[in-house]
Amino acid sequence: MCRPDELPASIEVRHDGRGYPVVPLPEVEIGDPAAAELLRRHRELRVA
C-alpha cells in the first residue's frame, strides 16, 4: 500500500472472483498514442 501522498502504480479490479491490475489513465495516455487521442476527443465532447 502506498502513502497518502503517493499514487498507486495500479489498482485491482475484481470481476467474477478474479483480480485484474488496472493502470491509471495518465499512464495509458503516455504509453498509447491512440488511447491518448481517444481520451482527448472524449474530453472535448464532454465540455461541448
- Average confidence score pLDDT of the chain: 89
Number of domains in the chain: 1
Expressed as residue numbers, the domain containing 36 is 22-48
The stretch 24-47 carries a mean pLDDT of 93
Q: Do the beta carbons of residue 7 and residue 24 sit within 8 Å?
A: yes
Run of H or E including 26: helix 25-31
Q: What is the pLDDT of residue 6?
A: 82
C-alpha to C-alpha distance for 4 and 9, rounded to whole angstroms: 13
Q: Do the beta carbons of residue 28 and residue 35 sit within 8 Å?
A: yes
Structural domain includes residue 16: no
Structural domain includes residue 36: yes
Structural domain includes residue 17: no
Q: How confident is the model at residue 1 (pLDDT cuts 50, 70, 90)?
A: low
What does pTM read for this prediction? 0.58
Structural domain includes residue 45: yes
C-alpha to C-alpha distance for 33 and 46, rounded to whole angstroms: 20
Structural domain includes residue 12: no
DSSP summary character for residue 40: H
